[in-house]
Structure 1
Amino acid sequence: MDTTRLTAIDVHTHAEISRDGASSLSPELLAASADHFKAHGHRQPGIDETAAYYRDRDMAAVVFTVDAEHATGHPRIANEEIAEDCARHPGTLIPFASIDPHKGRAGVREARKLVERYGVRGFKFHPSLQGFAPDDPIAYPLYDVIQELGAVAIFHTGQTGIGAGVRGGGGIRLRYSNPMLVDDVAVDFPDLRIILAHPSFPWQDEALAVAGHKEHVHIDLSGWSPKYFPPQLIRYANSLLQDKVLFGSDYPVLTPDRWLADFATLDIKDTVRPKILKDNAVRLLFREK
């Protein structure tokens, strides 16, 4: 990928619908997410439409789904399908994958295949939706192969709109998405490149502490309009963590157009803006393994 021509790299976008029209979430959880984001009627773009959207804006985007089959019983979108579709747009889309940690050795074999045969560059974990704590040894074989292959692990952190307002939260436990649980992962896998996704409400200070303390832990800014960012997140992004903070939108529920318009109003140093929008992602995603 020629990153010199890009204005930004969005490290957090979702493949919500498969080639045959199947959704990545059950109707109940999808409706709860739409309620949370006030995104009723939002379209679920396919990979080609996503690529066209970002290409028109001279941007690149990381694309992934979430495999939560064990906890939800809902079939995932195939990682191979997403990677193959992204491969049609090599100058625009960056394929990530998602493997439920409960899949054990089968998941480890799949991760290796996805990186070596399909060019996948990272893996998305949603601990609350997948029903596991990030520091649970059940996931360690998967982290081990991701670290070995030089790929990136991105963890949902903080509250989630998925299950919000549903009876019992749809069975989704928020405590699994405390970023402090990822601190153990960063200790036990010191060369694993990690992204803590989202402003981590109600654990923003924990996320800043982990990213500030652990060499390869980063933070993406997806899922929130920048005008709602906690002041300490802006302060750290502008100073101590300026090389570890990444632009992410959460497309399609939050578009880059909306995110960037609000980001432009923040008091961010001129020298820091390009780091957040592109430079930090280039260094993280395209360094030599």
Structure 2
Amino acid sequence: MPRPKDIAAIDLMLGIPMSSSNHEMYEYLKPLMMDEESRQQFKMPAQYMFKDIPSVGDTDDKVGWVLQQMDKHNIERAMVGAYTGRPEISEAISKNRHRFLQCLDVNPNRGMEEVRRIKQAKRDQGINAVSIFPSGLVPQVAIDDKKMFPIYAACVEEGLPVFVNTGICGPRFPSMVQKTELIEEVVWFFPELKFVMRHGAEPWDDLAVKLMIKFPNLYYSPSAFRPKHYPKSIINYMNSRGADKVLYAGYFPMGISLDTIFSDLDNLPLKDEVWPKFLRENALKLFGIS
């Protein structure tokens, strides 16, 4: 059914660019890149997959520019990174807390230092979630690795959902630490943990559906995918018993423009009753906000 234009969306993956080129966002991945094209020529690590990488506004007020883009597409709120090292961005986000949710990207290799960082960020910044990119860590850490468990425990204690990349990653480095099957032991051992699968889970999307049916606190967010490329298994699940388990997320300005995303959404074959849940209600419920 056509997307209702009057539903204000909540976007669970949106970035605040640091510069007009935005290249700083990917510097931490350089140690994992072995091929020359990724190292020297790509604007972003998975450029071979993305043909519509947005141009970043040439303005010093990057938060204001992002808010303009959100308003253009009726995005009420967006989840962005917790910019702990950029006080000017953190201050601008704080002034617009009604528009932004904050997600702290963490590295389990740091052990208890990272556990304390999560607790401090919740206390000082009021973060809303934690995110982990297992394949993007140096060294990589599997979803079910023992290093991850203190992070998951901290998320339960602080009442924070955790967003974890699963499936074959876009950048040209290994992905097996993100195998979707590794999620099962985590959500079994931490039944209170709200675990959100990021970035498609392909080629294990059928398994992702099976696991969501089995575990009540396991969710899915199709970030970094153009809506026209959402896995069919996920669309079928949304239109049947999974209407409450899938949450909208884009990939702006990292790889896909909002113009492209929302144009694709207009052709997404969802039932009328699924749209409000997908675009906003599931996110409100996940975070316990109104």
* TM-score of the superposed pair, with normalisation by structure 1: 0.83
* Unaligned residue ranges in structure 1 (runs of 5+): 66-75, 163-168
Give the aligned partner of residue 154 of structure 2: 145
Distance 1:80 1:99, change over 3 A: farther
Report what 2:189 is aligned to. Answer: 188
What does the per-residue CA deviation read over 1:155-179, in whole Å, with 9 as the maximum and x for residues that have no partner?
11222222xxxxxx3xx32111222
Alpha-carbon offset, residue 91 of structure 1: 1.9
1:242 matched residue in structure 2: 243
Q: Which residue of 1 aligns with 2:266?
A: 264
For residue 97 of structure 1, give the secondary structure of its aligned residue in structure 2. strand
- Number of residue-to-residue matches in the alignment: 265
TM-score, normalization: structure 2? 0.82
How far is 1:58 from its partner?
3.3
Q: Which AA in structure 2 matches 1:64?
A: G
Please list the CA deviations of residues 195-228 of structure 1 after superposition, one character each: whole Å capped at 9, or x if unmatched. 1012221111121122221111111122111212
- Tell me the amino acid that sits aligned with residue 211 of structure 1: M
Residues 97, 235 of structure 1: CA spacing in aligned structure 2 closer, same or farther, 3 A cutoff? same
Cα distance between partner residues in 2 of 1:213 and 1:83: 38
In 2, Cα distance between equivalents of 1:143 and 1:42: 36
Partner of 2:35: none
Q: Distance in 2 between matches of 1:258 and 1:40?
A: 10
Map 1:133-282 to 2 at 5 A: 133-162=142-171, 169=172, 172-252=173-253, 253-282=255-284
The aligned residue for residue 105 of structure 1 is 112
Query: By how many angstroms is 1:190 displaced?
Result: 1.0
Instruction: State percent identity of aligned pairs.
Output: 24
Ranked by relative contact order (alpha carbons within 8 Å, sequence separation 6 or more), the top structure is 2
Q: What is the CA-CA distance between 1:37 and the residue it aligns to?
A: 1.1
Residues 127 and 87 of structure 1: CA distance in aligned 2, closer, same or farther (over 3 Å): same
Q: CA RMSD in A?
A: 2.6
> 8 Å contact 1:80–1:118 — kept in the other structure?
no
Q: Which 4+ runs in 1 deviate beyond 4 A?
A: 79-83
Kept in 2, the 8 Å contact 1:51–1:93? The answer is no
* 2-structure distance, mates of 1:41, 1:93: 20
Shift, 1:135, TM fit:
0.5
Q: Is the 8 A contact 1:249 1:259 kept in 2?
A: yes
User: For residue 73 of structure 1, what is the aligned residue in structure 2?
Assistant: none
Counterpart among 40, 46, 71 of residue 55 in structure 1: 71
